[in-house]
Amino acid sequence: MPISRNIRSLSLPELKEYFESIGDKKFRAIQAYEWLWKKNVRHFDEMSNLSLDLRKKLAEDFDFNAITVEATQYSNDGTVKSRFKTFDNHLIEGVLIPTEKRNTACVSSQIGCSLTCKFCATGKMERKRNLDFEEIYDQVALLNEQSEKIYGKKLSNIVYMGMGEPLLNYKNVLKSIDKITASDSMAMSPKRITVSTAGVVKMIKQLGDDKVRFNLALSLHAPTDKKRNEIMPINESNTIDSLIEALNYFYDHTKNDITLEYILFKDKNDSIEDANELIKIYRQIPTHLINVIEYNPIAGAEFIKPAEDATQLFTNHLAKNNVNVRVRRSRGKDIDAACGQLANKDKINS
């Protein structure tokens, strides 16, 4: 048996094979598996119904690359931001967003990001590596623990809208969702999971081919290629027309919900002309909703949030043209936990 493998990369049959190989009984594998995925332990020492010698043997033969909470910050609006540390000492952030109807976990998929979107703090960071599937899973498990401890209820929803581009970590993102929704793990409904993308055409189509069961959100943020190129360099190779085609392909193959995300920037994308261009896109995609999002300022960016009346004018125009539109109010702005603000800032309280 290979030494120092990540134990959480093993399936249950592989765990059974391992326990047999060291002369132990198969049911030990089931006990260990439950500790890993039902009880979400993060160290072999916590597997209390296994003997001390067996736990030492597991620690000798396997790694346990769990993430830990390094620091936590609490917003005035109830939002909770956590800074997580990986086994190799990288930092990522995740957010618990409570409302009356739901408690949502916003999780990261990469350490940093390579897409350099102009309005996003994470986009100013160097991408170090992709997160492994169990590191994504750990964020959900830890945020769920926070939700139960602070608010007395489990998570109801998960959004992959934290640090990184989920579709550039395709394999691990899908594997994390498989594990989160598995009956022998958290057993969450895939319909309560949304993956947000800046728009990777090839991988959106792959989602369709794989017939995934979760929902998709496209971070559009501009209604023309010219404007989108200026703020999102990914658009140069993933144009709006190609995204429209890919989203239709995704829907045809999955019938899952598609949401368009649209951050408003003063004098950049908030005019009635912009709204009319956005309506044209909306009518070409089987999307059920446009989320108009408040811009959250970040250091080094020149964007400005529009006045409230300008936002109202923009959204009213969409609604008058039969667009299902909602203004998504920012949560956790006072702790840099809102959309586009995650960047591992040092100013965080433990």
The Cα–Cα gap between 103 and 97 comes to: 6
Radius of gyration of the chain (CA): 21
Task: Compute the distance between CA of residue 32 and CA of residue 200 in angstroms, rounded to an integer.
Answer: 38
Contact assessment for residue 158 and residue 141, using Cβ atoms and an 8 Å cutoff: no
Is 339 one of the catalytic residues?
Answer: yes
Could you count the other beta carbons within 10 Å of the beta carbon of residue 178? 15
Catalytic residue, candidates 106, 117, 120, 339: 339
Is 70 among the residues known to form the active site?
Answer: no
Helix (H) or strand (E) holding 289: strand 289-293
291: Cβ contacts below 8 Å, ≥ 6 apart: 217, 259, 260, 261, 262, 325, 326, 327, 328
Strand partners, 194: 159, 215
* Residue from 93, 135, 261, 294 carrying the catalytic annotation: 93
Helix (H, G, I), strand (E, B) or coil at 63: strand
How many C-beta neighbours within 10 Å does residue 17 have?
14
Q: Which residues contact 168 (CB under 8 A, 6 or more apart)?
A: 110, 114, 115, 130, 200, 203
The answer to whether the Cα torsion of 157, 163, 169, 171 is positive or negative is: negative
Q: Can you tell me the distance from the alpha carbon of 145 to that of 143, in angstroms, rounded to the nearest whole number?
A: 5
Q: What is the sign of the dihedral through the CA atoms of 120, 123, 128 and 134? A: positive
192, 253 Cβ separation under 8 angstroms: no
Residues 6 or more apart in contact with residue 141 via CB below 8 angstroms? 40, 186
- Residues designated catalytic: 93, 339
